[in-house]
Structure 1
Amino acid sequence: MAGKGRKYEDLPDVSFTDFIFDDHEKRIEAYKDRPWIVDIPSNKTVTFGQVKRDATNIAIALAEIGFKKGDSLFFVTHGLANLILVEIGVWILGGVTRGCDQQETVEVYAQQIKEIGARFVVVDEDTMDLVQKTIKEFDLEVNLISIGDQDLPGTVHISKLLENRKDSQLKSVKINPAEDPMTIFNTSGSVGFPKGVLHSHRSSTAFVLTVKGLKTEETLLQFSINYGVGIFGIAFDFWRSGHTVYHINKFEKNLFFQHIMKHKPRSLLMYPFIANWFARCAWVLDPTTADLLFECLPNTHLEHIYGMSEAGFVAASFPPGKPQELMRFVKDSHVYISTGLPLPRMEIKVIDMSTSETLQRDLEEGEVCVRAPSIAKGYIAGPGYRVDSFALDNYGWFKTGDVGFLDAKGRLYIKDRVKFIYRVGLSFVSAIEIESVLLQHPDVQEAGVVAIPEPAVVNILRAFVVLKPSRTCSEADLCNFVADRMPDYKRLHGGVRFIEKLPANKGGKLDRKSLKEFALAENH
């Protein structure tokens, strides 16, 4: 039994840029001078009224230096305001964009540049040296574009691209919305090395229309990677609604509250490592974290969103007020918080992980599957945008790799990743479930649980814990805390190890692969 998304407007069969600029002048007349994107702390701003003009000038300038349909642009920068103008210019020309983390290795940069055959690379003052080192070591032939404040040697600066080209004509580019590639998002790498997810103009348009189903306010302050699916969906949803995004280029704890007080946003987008600073955070939102967030931000509502690079945002909760009012479900003595109903154009079902049969709502947990027009074309596998297509079944369902269940009304509950479900004896245990129990302990700041091979029972569970400052609970205290709340096979028979910091991946999520490797090395 599948849950279906809410009502939606028709999906236009046009390029993404035709979609965002449809009836542009008339639609933005009331707010053309309002900021669309504001970079923090530089305060670099892009207003609604300048976007089409600037992006068109950039497209003309790129075409003059040799950019053509099918070419790709790779970027390694911190900002969003100027970058998004360059990206739109590329999409106007029928090109493809892909970004990467600002502190990656030269090997990763070279690999991703080669994967898409990028001839154009965008940098800023902070990333120029590392990108130049990549170009030199791997003998890459690329055109460098700089979008920071400085006109860096050997680059074409953004100011040159933005020069008024009213006397130049932009040649029309014919785009096949369903087939032509447009943008590549990197996965978070929660279960391994990040993969490039290729989206077409059509799936990108469908994603933005899906985001329309979220509850948004007039202004949003957020820190997220500028090459990910989240900021893409939020930014262009705000483009259509006339709302403002405040983008923090670099997250600094000592400045975060100053940014909030200065800009007074109506909403905050908080990813795991930021939410962890506010309260306690797991990969899946648990009741303890939700309640602690409300203690920190008492005059807010909390919207819980579930999504992925491959499909965009999939489901979202719509609480009437306090986080305590988020829909909760008790299953096997554990409390889960709902990620809500499917968003527009989204269908969700849960299948048995052994038989692939569809499960009934409110009964059994299994692997979550999604069907939607926003699902990407596949993972990048080589030059020419060659992809390894997703393993969709004959009816177009995509297996997400997440374990969850649907309640009687079709609301989704996520339990864990399939790869984070461990076999203990004859039973299966979710690492997230044990972590959420540990986070209820008043001394625990962060917790990560992994399985350690044990022939007698297949695996035993071990926890790695970061304590709050000045707290001194013992290993026995935490083992007993879990034992008092969990059946025997869900207890920490592998013990507890106290560490100063849990490893995190580029997306700010717990790096379980590194934690597992650390645990196994500890055993030898």
Structure 2
Amino acid sequence: MGQSSETVAGRGKPRVAKHEGPRPLPPIPNTNYASFMLERMQAHGDNVAMVDEEARGRRTYAELCDLIPRASGGLKAAGVSPGDVVLLITKNHIDYPLAMLAIIHRGATCAPVSPTLKPDELVHVVKISKARYVIACASAVGAVKEAYFRMPKWTLKQLWVLDSSSGISQFGRLLQQDPVPAFSTDDGLDPAKSVALLPFSSGTTGLPKGVMLSHRTLLVPHVRSVYQESIRPKTPKPTRNLFQTVMLFLPVSHTYGHGMVTATLFNGGTVVVMLRFSPKSFFETIERFKVTWAPIVPYIANFLIDTPLMKKFDISSLVGFTTAAAPISAAASNTLMKKTGRVIGSAYGLTETNGAVSANSTLFGFNPESVGRIVPYCDVKVVDVETGRMLGERQEGEVCARGPNIMLGYMNNPKATASALDAEGWLHTGDIGYFDEDNFLFITDRIKDLIKVKSLQVSPTELEALLLSHPAVEDAAVVGVPHAKLGEAPRAYVVLRSGAILRPHEIEDFVSERVSSYKQLAGGVRTVDAIPRNPAGKILRRQLKKDFMSSKL
């Protein structure tokens, strides 16, 4: 589990870690987020902003800048008022930014939602958000209707569908209205307090929570990127070249996918929209569209390390990868960089922090063992889990973050908000970690994922890293399961590489030879075809625990 505060006591005085740059950080604009983006996007004219990988559609910057105010006018004509919540339930779609920015332009709140949610899950989302308007892709319409059917009559005022579907109002009708100006500060908008985006947390520790992000919060990553460019040494390959063509198979309903879309539009690049990841389409898309940047998640990085497809396609356009949403091992990162000859950036952040808290990058430096240096506009402190006392360098505890990038709270959930945000505005992330003398941040675990073997804490990620070091293991997950003598014990789920033969007792022996007795896999080992993960690549530990308990009934 890294180094405890007891073993490193005295290494550093308690302090807050933050970016230490050569010049002051610029202020965050006090404006409507959509207005800000439109002003930036207008400079890119007829360049392609969004294109479908199967060439079924495209949008230029000029089109988006014309249509967003029209769609905002359509929402106004339909009765959407500033402050209303509009659910945007869609798979990856070229019109995601059009719909999302139109909602925010109107002064309403856009709530991106995964189209894979079942009606019961959507009922939960509707109850939290109080949303009475929905924009959805055709595949989600059935679940939307069923969810609202279970709500009081007239809860749903209007449903628009992005794709063709008979008998349902088309999103395209909103685009036929005259354009309207953005809801602004003159109209009563408070960019620091008005909720522009309402993404839903992954729900790994309970039912999903609506994360309230203000207009000002959404602006932070863009202002940060401008600042970073201002202090970057002049090179032949500026950041905008990285954003020239960005592939997107990450779901837009997740902060990572959403952030890649908005960052690319801010930099004038083209987003190549993919519905899902597949090995062949990944490389075909890079080759066909001359992709310059590929945002991925760690389990895809592990796939890329081993696949023979890398040599069968032309990936010469690719400048680099970025990985986020889940931890990636230093070994995997270094191996992928060596194999591809491309830089592998990484970042750590949460939905609640609207993206990065820290990043490994060419500007701030790399430490593959870490999750990068603290980024501008975000302060970090580490506190003792039991006492809340602030710790110093290399002292392990709960990571807390504060800054204009932090959420306002969880919508209609004051109890959860109070447990996450303290009186001084610090977000308690629930992650265990520490920072060093150079402000590199290290994440070692999740508080709620720790396995309690008697009174001792065991890190599942430590055991997963060990399992992945075995040449026959392709993927692994470790969870705590009930144990008669130990209270809780580590149990491993392992995916073997193609053709490999490895028996459960051999895996147990491999681990027991390398860890203390209390960290051994006393909960057993099960080989499986795949580790359950959410679309962002995070292990669904609750599902594994639930499956284990069901097998014991």
SS in 2 for 1:507: coil
SS in 2 for 1:448: strand
Q: Give the counterpart of 2:544 among 506, 515, 521.
A: 515
TM-score normalised by structure 1 residue count: 0.88
Call closer, same or farther: CA 1:477–1:109 in 2, change over 3 Å.
same
In structure 2, the residue matched to 1:177 is: 191
Call closer, same or farther: CA 1:298–1:171 in 2, change over 3 Å.
closer
Letter in 1 for 2:387: T
Q: Give the counterpart of 1:290 among 333, 338, 345.
A: 333
Q: Give the counterpart of 1:489 among 492, 495, 518.
A: 518
> Once the 2 structures are TM-superposed, how far is the Cα of residue 473 of structure 1 from its aligned partner?
1.0
TM-score normalised by structure 2 residue count: 0.84
> Once the 2 structures are TM-superposed, how far is the Cα of residue 101 of structure 1 from its aligned partner?
1.7
Give the structure with the larger strand fraction. Answer: 1
Q: Give the counterpart of 2:158 among 120, 143, 153.
A: 143
SS in 2 for 1:185: coil
In structure 1, the residue matched to 2:273 is: 247
Q: How many Å separate the matches in 1 of 2:28 and 2:181?
A: 30
Contact 1:16/1:202 (CA < 8 Å) preserved in 2? yes
> Once the 2 structures are TM-superposed, how far is the Cα of residue 257 of structure 1 from its aligned partner?
1.8
Superposed CA deviations along residues 2-25 of structure 1, whole A, max 9, x for unmatched, are 221355322112221232234764
Superposed CA deviations along residues 165-209 of structure 1, whole A, max 9, x for unmatched, are 36x777864311112111101112233332210111122222443
SS in 2 for 1:302: strand
Superposed CA deviations along residues 315-372 of structure 1, whole A, max 9, x for unmatched, are 1002589xxx9425xxxxxxxx21111111011111111111121112x211111011
Tell me whether 1:45 sits opposite 2:55 in the alignment.
no
Contact 2:52/2:58 (CA < 8 Å) preserved in 1? yes
Call closer, same or farther: CA 1:159–1:456 in 2, change over 3 Å.
closer
Tell me whether 1:361 sits opposite 2:393 in the alignment.
yes
Contact 1:350/1:359 (CA < 8 Å) preserved in 2? yes
Letter in 2 for 1:13: N
Q: Give the counterpart of 2:439 among 410, 414, 417.
A: 410
Superposed CA deviations along residues 69-117 of structure 1, whole A, max 9, x for unmatched, are 1222112211332121122111111101112221211111122123222
Tell me whether 1:278 sits opposite 2:293 in the alignment.
no
Tell me whether 1:437 sits opposite 2:437 in the alignment.
no
Tell me whether 1:2 sits opposite 2:48 in the alignment.
no
In structure 2, the residue matched to 1:392 is: 421
What does 1:260-409 align with in structure 2 at a 5 Å threshold?
A: 260-279=286-305, 283-294=326-337, 297-312=339-354, 313-319=356-362, 326-328=366-368, 337-362=369-394, 364-381=395-412, 388-389=417-418, 391-409=420-438
Letter in 1 for 2:175: L
Q: How many Å separate the matches in 2 of 1:506 and 1:193?
A: 16
Letter in 1 for 2:31: V
Contact 2:357/2:374 (CA < 8 Å) preserved in 1? yes
**Runs of at least 5 residues in structure 1 that lack an aligned partner in the other structure:** 329-336
In structure 2, the residue matched to 1:106 is: 119
Call closer, same or farther: CA 1:273–1:196 in 2, change over 3 Å.
farther
Q: How many Å separate the matches in 2 of 1:294 and 1:391?
A: 36
Superposed CA deviations along residues 113-147 of structure 1, whole A, max 9, x for unmatched, are 23222222112232223323333344443311121
Call closer, same or farther: CA 1:142–1:311 in 2, change over 3 Å.
same
Q: How many Å separate the matches in 2 of 1:479 and 1:386?
A: 42
Tell me whether 1:480 sits opposite 2:509 in the alignment.
yes
> Once the 2 structures are TM-superposed, how far is the Cα of residue 287 of structure 1 from its aligned partner?
2.5
Contact 1:101/1:506 (CA < 8 Å) preserved in 2? no
Q: How many Å separate the matches in 1 of 2:326 and 2:34?
A: 34
In structure 1, the residue matched to 2:218 is: 204
Q: After TM superposition, where is structure 1 displaced by more than 6 Å over at least 4 residues in a row?
A: 168-172
Letter in 1 for 2:544: L
**Percent identity at matched positions?**
25
SS in 2 for 1:476: helix
SS in 2 for 1:225: coil
In structure 1, the residue matched to 2:34 is: 17
Tell me whether 1:230 sits opposite 2:273 in the alignment.
no
In structure 2, the residue matched to 1:333 is: none
Q: How many Å separate the matches in 1 of 2:442 and 2:396?
A: 9
Letter in 1 for 2:244: E
In structure 2, the residue matched to 1:186 is: 200
Contact 1:378/1:390 (CA < 8 Å) preserved in 2? no
